[in-house]
């Protein structure tokens, strides 16, 4: 058993700890992108699921690929100038 302040290295090995760090970074990136998209699309249920569940990026990738709505591009128009009133 690991005591307070003990090292995990002898119990798990360096390769496992490196894998764990990479998996955490991978999950953080995908979760951040998916949460951002869910919030912008006002998908409250998806936002909660993505926030609570840790799936090593599987659920965020599924959301981004299949369920996030693609917003149609809005054509930018030139601002309309108001006509000056004559006195």
Domain spans, the chain: 12-65
pLDDT of residue 87: 66
Alpha carbons within 13 angstroms on the beta-carbon side of residue 22 total 6
| Tens place of pLDDT per residue across the chain (87 aa) | 555 666 767 777 888 888 989 999 998 999 999 999 999 999 999 899 888 887 878 888 888 889 887 665 555 666 666 767 776
pLDDT of residue 53: 84
pLDDT of residue 2: 53
pTM higher than 0.85: no
Q: Residues 35, 5: contact at Cβ < 8 Å?
A: no
């Amino acid at each position: 058993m690991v005591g307070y302040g003990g090292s995990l290295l002898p119990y798990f090995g360096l390769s496992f700890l490196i894998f764990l760090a990479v998996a955490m970074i991978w999950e953080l990136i995908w979760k951040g992108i998916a949460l951002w998209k869910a919030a912008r699309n006002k998908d409250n249920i998806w936002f909660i699921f993505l926030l609570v569940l840790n799936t090593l990026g599987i659920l965020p990738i599924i959301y981004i690929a299949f369920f996030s709505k693609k917003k149609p591009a809005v054509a930018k128009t030139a601002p309309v100038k108001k006509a000056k009133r004559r006195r």
